[in-house]
Amino acid sequence: HWYPASPSPAIGSPIRKPEHIRKLLLNHRLEPSRCLFAGDAMTDYLAAKETGVPFIGIENEMPLPKDALTIPHCGYLADWVQP
């Protein structure tokens, strides 16, 4: 499933990101391996790893681990998402 930006508030602090991810997976009955977490911070990468959701990094000034697949900007996400 593709869940683009919505009018709902952004998901993040103060609740830990892995808790949000688990809630989304449960509420939408999604398998972690069939999802994709796009993020631009180490906390995004770690949350994806902790919950088993594949991660793709959006390049910026924040360093990500060398093993993280990264893309220059969000415009490339459609190339990685299969309907």
**Residue 37 DSSP symbol:** E
List the pLDDT tens digit at each of the 83 positions of the chain.
Answer: 455 544 455 555 557 899 999 999 999 999 999 999 999 999 999 999 999 999 999 998 888 999 999 998 888 788 777 66
Pairwise CA distance, residues 36 & 30, whole Å: 11
Residue 30 CB partners (closer than 8 Å, separation 6+): 1, 24
The pLDDT of residue 28: 94
